[in-house]
Amino acid sequence: MQATRIIAVRHGETAWNVDTRIQGHLDIALNDTGRWQARQVARALADEPLAAVYTSDLQRAHATAQAIAQASGAPLVAEPGLRERSFGELEGRTFAEIEAELPEQARRWRQRDPHFAPTGGETLVQLRERIAATTHRLAAQHTEQLIVLVAHGGVLDMLYRLATGLDLQAPRTWLVTNASINRLLWTPQGLTLVGWADTQHLDTGSRDETVT
């Protein structure tokens, strides 16, 4: 059977994560905690037999992926198809600001309307199609191998839904933690969930450590 093992990793923390500010396609850097998280997840994956590390081209994901690639020796490939959902005019605003300034868009976003696109952004249906197609294309190049996909909260959420068959409007009951390790199996028939939200590597280690 053709199969590819996938480790999906959300980028490390940014200041905008802390502020609950929507990043979308805006290119926000990791903060100090995020850089530490990137080092920790890189160490956790250093001995995995990685064939390649694919990453969103946004710097918060790319920096996280670069740490993993350096620790493992695997090639690093930027892949725009792994970008976060485009949130259009919602980008740069906090949740509270969206509720106050754009209440109708906030309502449809909260309700997870699959066909709602923030002005200038993507719908959930479009995001699902993009992530499914990108994952299929990358995984099909690495049958019988292990690859890493470094991406964003919305992308990881969609991978979980694709692997479990959950509807786009189903409330999220699973964690999508910064720098968590999430394992999936790809076959030509689709994705299967293997393990989710492993954060043991973030529970240990001094935050004063330097990159080794």
Task: Give me the pLDDT at residue 33, please.
Answer: 98
Task: Give me the pLDDT at residue 83, please.
Answer: 98
Task: Give me the pLDDT at residue 50, please.
Answer: 98
Predicted TM-score (pTM) of this structure: 0.94
Q: Give the total number of structural domains in the chain.
A: 1
Percentage helix, strand, coil, to 5, in the chain? Answer: 40, 20, 40
- Asked if the structure places residue 24 within a domain, the reply is yes
pLDDT in tens, the chain (212 residues): 799 999 999 999 999 999 999 999 999 999 999 999 999 999 999 999 999 999 999 999 999 999 999 999 999 999 999 999 999 999 999 999 999 999 999 999 999 999 999 999 999 999 999 999 999 999 999 999 999 999 999 999 999 999 999 999 999 999 999 999 999 999 999 999 999 999 999 997 655 443 32
- Asked if the structure places residue 209 within a domain, the reply is no
- Asked if the structure places residue 210 within a domain, the reply is no
- Asked if the structure places residue 212 within a domain, the reply is no
- Asked if the structure places residue 208 within a domain, the reply is no
Task: Give me the pLDDT at residue 205, please.
Answer: 60
- Asked if the structure places residue 211 within a domain, the reply is no
3-state secondary structure of 93: coil
Query: Is 84 designated active site?
Result: yes
**Identified catalytic residue from 13, 79, 84, 122:** 84
* Structural contact between residues 84 and 24, judged by C-beta atoms closer than 8 angstroms: yes
Q: What does R_g of the chain's alpha carbons equal in angstroms?
A: 17
Q: Which of 4, 7, 3 is nearest to 182 (CA)?
A: 7
Q: Which of 123, 127, 138 is nearest to 184 (CA)?
A: 138
CA–CA distance, 105 with 74 (Å, rounded to integer): 42
What CATH number does residue 46 fall under?
A: 3.40.50.1240
Task: Give me the pLDDT at residue 1, please.
Answer: 75
Task: Give me the pLDDT at residue 204, please.
Answer: 74
Give the domain range for residue 112. Answer: 4-202
Query: Is 11 designated active site?
Result: yes
- Asked if the structure places residue 69 within a domain, the reply is yes
